[in-house]
Amino acid sequence: MKTKFFALALAASLFLNSCSSSDDPTPAPTPASGEITGPITANKTYAYGNYTLKGIVKINSGVTVTFDAGSTITIDKATGDNALVVLNGGKLIINGTADKPVVFTEKSKLPGSWGGIIMYGDAPAKVAGGGTSSTSEDGNNISYGGTNATHNGGSLNYVRVEYAGAKLADGQKENNAFTFYSVGSGTTLDHLVAYKGADDGFEFFGGTVSMTNAISYGNYDDAFDWQDGWQGTANTNWYAYQTGKGNYGMEIEASANDNAFGPKVTNITLKREAGNVPEVGDNQVDAFQFKREGNGEYSNIIVDGYGNFTTGTTTYKGSVVSILDAATNTHQVNTGKIKILNVKISNTTNVIPVAANDTFTVSFPTGTFTTSTTATGASLTTGAWATVDGASLIK
């Protein structure tokens, strides 16, 4: 009898201990840490953690660099020029998630404090003068352009770049949060946030890559910008919120080449907060601005807040669409190469396309500019990836 009672007690004890251990929560992983410098010459994975990035860190050709979900990479402008650069042939893999994005930020939290993420490829470009290659204007002075339409520079998923827009070295202009030079269609750009930079949120210089689920918030220049014959056609869910200081919602040009092709973007929201002023107090106050033969098809759009801007005795026209030059009007508008379809407009002064000056008249062909009361614009899910300091970026 004693033996039976002992066996039962032992079994009960083992059962309770088993239950207790299985119910214990899995401890959170300890964040890694370290300094990221370059050039990076061998494959490297940065586990979940908190890192600092110092200098112009270049990922060499043939090298893959991976960042795990939830990581934060901090830059300090006091250290000098800083940027993360993916050279042609290199790959950047960022495995963020909606609740654990990978965030690149800067210590001072001031726009224009570092150079952002810059990626190079050898996808086709068509630059000024009709050439197929050019040299980057970002201070790196790297050639871009080629014939590899499916170039693969990696995959950027759930990534936020904050406070970028600095000039690097003797660069001709500020860099953007994200800059893509001849990046190809094999590259994935999904759920990206450009937050409070001193230049554009996103800029494409040629290439065939497309971008999905993108937010440009509070950038000083344009929310979205491209040139050199960018021809991504699978773009969707682009959201811009311009607050404080900012220029065009989209600045669209083709480097003065009358191309037979053009980009396509569906599901677009362009919002300009009341009181937002252009960067240098001029006429850059339109939702869509086309120049130098820019074209493309844009559909299911919300435009809100692009009213006139008055400075002193001068008033600049705020509009849904502005055509900057006569050549773009003749070759792109009049031939139907620009399509603005299903656009819902509010709080905007000029609700039909206008010329940026009085030397020509804009008249879109039937069916190439259409308005709607039911357009829905970008469809994005809120979450940590689109939240800064506890505030959602999706207004």
Residue 50 has phi, psi (to 5 degrees) of: -120, 115
Residue 201 sits at the vertex; the CA angle it makes with 197 and 203, to the nearest 5 degrees, is: 130
Q: Does any domain span residue 13?
A: no
Q: Does any domain span residue 61?
A: yes
Q: Does any domain span residue 254?
A: yes
Residue 24 binned pLDDT confidence (cut-offs 50, 70, 90): low
Q: Does any domain span residue 69?
A: yes
Residue 14 binned pLDDT confidence (cut-offs 50, 70, 90): very low
**Averaged over 253-262, what is the pLDDT?**
98
Q: What percent of the chain has pLDDT over 90?
A: 84
Q: Does any domain span residue 395?
A: no
Residue 212 has phi, psi (to 5 degrees) of: -125, 145
- What integer pLDDT is reported at residue 2 of this predicted model? 47
Q: Does any domain span residue 21?
A: no
Residue 23 binned pLDDT confidence (cut-offs 50, 70, 90): low
102 with 222, same domain?
A: yes
203 with 320, same domain?
A: no
**Averaged over 95-115, what is the pLDDT?**
97
Residue 281 binned pLDDT confidence (cut-offs 50, 70, 90): confident
Q: Does any domain span residue 163?
A: yes
DSSP state of 139: S
185, 209, 231: which is the final residue of a domain? 231
- For residue 47, pLDDT beyond 50: yes
Least confident of 7-11, 24-28, 143-147: 7-11
pLDDT digits (tens, 9 = 90+) for 192-236: 999 999 999 999 999 999 999 999 999 999 999 999 999 999 999
Q: Does any domain span residue 196?
A: yes
DSSP state of 330: I
190 with 319, same domain?
A: no
59 with 172, same domain?
A: yes
pLDDT digits (tens, 9 = 90+) for 76-101: 999 999 999 999 999 999 999 999 99
11 or 55: whose pLDDT is higher? 55
How many Å apart are CA 127 and CA 343, to the nearest integer?
30
224 with 101, same domain?
A: yes
231, 248, 283: which is the final residue of a domain? 231
CA terminus-to-terminus distance, the chain: 73
**Averaged over 273-284, what is the pLDDT?**
86
87 with 139, same domain?
A: yes
Residue 149, judged by CB atoms within 10 A of its CB (0-12, 13-18, 19+), counts as middle
258 with 367, same domain?
A: yes
220 with 327, same domain?
A: no
- For residue 257, pLDDT beyond 60: yes
Q: Could you identify the residue written with the tokens 């098809």?
A: 297
Beta bridge pairs of residue 320: none
Q: Which residues contact 119 (CB under 8 A, 6 or more apart)?
A: 85, 86, 92, 153, 154, 178, 179, 180, 181, 183, 187
Residue type present at position 61: S
How many Å apart are CA 43 and CA 28, to the nearest integer?
26
Q: Domain of 70? A: 36-231
Identify the sign of the CA torsion 99, 184, 181, 272.
negative
127 with 270, same domain?
A: no
CA 248 to chain centre: 15
291 with 311, same domain?
A: yes
- What integer pLDDT is reported at residue 162 of this predicted model? 98
Q: What is the mean pLDDT of the chain?
A: 93
226 with 241, same domain?
A: no
122 with 227, same domain?
A: yes
Give me the number of domains the chain comprises.
2
207, 231, 255: which is the final residue of a domain? 231
